Structure 1
């Protein structure tokens, strides 16, 4: 990590709400935000954005004739990007960089266009330009009227934190002073949910907490899909108006023995966390926001990696997936949002169905993890 990077704003939407006040209020209770959606005649567990936010998104769609053909993943990104730069007091003329990713991209549009192609044996005119992944950052740049570099990518579930790595690299290179980074995901479609069910990782639970992320005693996989987006404004150096600072970054990829799994002790996480810590004593980390997707192997392997790195003192461990589900490529920056809120409010958000350890008296350093299919892990160390 060459220089400290400031986080000066975060804009997000998820089932928790659309403002930091709403989101924090939602975190302070022990209720989850998982509901159901009818998919192919069956009621399945999902975590959806509110009807109020959906109305906002629809207004955005109708505000510009060019936006009517865009996928929700792109509209979510535009919506949250507007909020983030408003908070940061950025202007399009600043020509800040943009790096926004998505694990799935324009999922709903792609499925719709493909169905049409199968029925008519002909592709619709806008089927290609509206379903390419590059859609996200380019449309955000268009909407914000900025001419800085714009990058879109998919690195599965660690996409948003990889966006953050890229933004930091550009700033440290001296090529930009500001970067807007994040992830956006609208995955609540029949085919996407069916893919997770085919992997046998989707929750079938009907009890009070359908997703049992961080429950190391569970005997079944309990992942639930959620939708959402979160954008983070990064600025070079420490800024007086910063919400938090990034003091360490780490990343790693491990060789896989299976298409979807990582090693039993998550060697990729061990390397990414160790890199993020740098010269900082592991005992100085107060909280870890885990990736913890709610699967048996995914949760436990990350925990074993934490035990290896933090052998003397395990930090307070938490996750938000029991509450909002797994938002794929957006999950990393939604985790960053939780970390920043805990730093700001000096309050640990625990998981209600586990024995939470005693929270630290002061929260100074929070480590945020993300990993995705392909064994690509990212760890970001935040401080105040």
Structure 2
């Protein structure tokens, strides 16, 4: 590593409850929830019939008819978010060598909605065993290959440097940003457009999570269905969305007078080599990712002012990461506010890690810890300060954000104010 420091200078978020970073922050800082009964299709055959959907009109957000036809919903999210992040940063990408501008986009399930819709068409609603490809859209191949997401964003911003899709399940959104920051640190790029996008609310996704009972069956009360760390939690609420950032080298950002949200001070990822969906109760692998991220940031556990938790609302996850915080931060874990924004915007799989990074950066910006909504019944096994129901004002100089994904992936990122005394 060259020792270059990497900062976030642009943010855009598409999340349930409102498109745009400002709308997103207003929702999560007020403790409102954006979960509801599924409206995209008839969910009656499924066990879990609630989700956090985005009211998104692609044409109203600048996409033309050909772009709308060509791109899956998740790719549309990524392109709109990338345009917004670049605009927010004020960066003139035309003034940069395009070979030094790169793209990393995370996604867990790629173009799920497009593939689901097109299968219904080419199979005549499932009637044909041998599908008729003549009915397929011309760009069906782009739905199959997740790399199309990075290509679409690269075309949008004119990036000709490193282009990558990161797909590590529910840690994809953290890993894409961590990887992008590493590319800048090592000198392979000067600017990275990084983030993630997923639009998984489709029958096939509901069927998959129904089969393993990971999603909540609390269909009669959608706004209060997502209950991370609560004693009555019984699964997560599926969501969708995207968050994209402009990352650049610190001194370059300062020279152009950019507004700096936060430094990406440390990042690490580990896996547990244990079980596809199961988690060890001691949280050892997540704790190790946290330890390495703190080491990279050259920070002590006591310097963390807020933890943005994975907080999915499943019984095992919330216990697992509570143990990981105690294992990695020691007694400081009990003094550190922790919250889960999934209680308000659901779990958008690969996208949520970037959305949570956005929440962390905005929490630093505003000096406010967003709450964990729907947390009314304390769970004795989850005994940290989870900021129930209402946001809390607090100066925040450093945030730890973590993610946990099926397959055993555990990732951690540390954001910090760049003016802190760094060794």
Q: TM-score, normalised by structure 1?
A: 0.92
Q: Which residue of 2 aligns with 1:33?
A: 34
2:319 to 281, 289, 300: 300
2:151 to 122, 135, 138: 138
Pairing 1:312–2:322 present: no
Q: Deviations over 1:158-192 (max 9, x none)?
A: 11111112111211121211101111011111111
Matches of 2:322 and 2:349 in 1, distance apart?
A: 20
2:103 to 98, 103, 109: 98
Deviation at 1:253, TM superposition (A): 1.2
Q: Deviations over 1:125-148 (max 9, x none)?
A: 432233210110101111223322
Q: Which residue of 2 aligns with 1:116?
A: 121
- SS of the residue 2:18 aligns to: coil
Q: Deviations over 1:283-321 (max 9, x none)?
A: 111110011111000111011111111222211111100
Q: Which residue of 1 aligns with 2:70?
A: 69
Matches of 1:222 and 1:174 in 2, distance apart?
A: 42
Pairing 1:247–2:265 present: yes
Q: Is the 8 A contact 1:178 1:234 kept in 2?
A: yes
Q: What residue ranges of structure 2 are gaps of 5+ in the alignment?
A: 379-384, 418-423
- SS of the residue 2:143 aligns to: coil
Q: Structure 1 residues 79, 361: closer, same or farther in 2, change over 3 A? A: closer
Matches within 5 A, 1:207-286: 207=221, 209-215=224-230, 217-218=231-232, 220-238=233-251, 239-240=253-254, 241-256=259-274, 258-278=275-295, 279-286=298-305
Aligned pairs, number: 377
Matches of 1:67 and 1:345 in 2, distance apart?
A: 35
Q: Is the 8 A contact 2:279 2:408 kept in 1?
A: yes
Q: Deviations over 1:242-295 (max 9, x none)?
A: 111121112111111x32122112222111100111142211111100111110
2:171 to 158, 163, 174: 158
Q: Is the 8 A contact 2:340 2:372 kept in 1?
A: yes
Q: Structure 1 residues 246, 204: closer, same or farther in 2, change over 3 A? A: same
2:184 to 164, 171, 191: 171
Deviation at 1:197, TM superposition (A): 1.1
Q: Which residue of 2 aligns with 1:328?
A: 349
Deviation at 1:214, TM superposition (A): 2.2
Deviation at 1:345, TM superposition (A): 0.9
Q: Which residue of 1 aligns with 2:202?
A: 189
Pairing 1:47–2:52 present: yes
Stretch deviating more after TM superposition (34-43 or 16-25): 34-43
Q: Is the 8 A contact 1:214 1:318 kept in 2?
A: no
Q: TM-score, normalised by structure 2?
A: 0.84
Q: Which residue of 1 aligns with 2:19?
A: 18
Q: Is the 8 A contact 1:171 1:236 kept in 2?
A: yes
Q: Is the 8 A contact 1:62 1:68 kept in 2?
A: no
Deviation at 1:115, TM superposition (A): 2.7
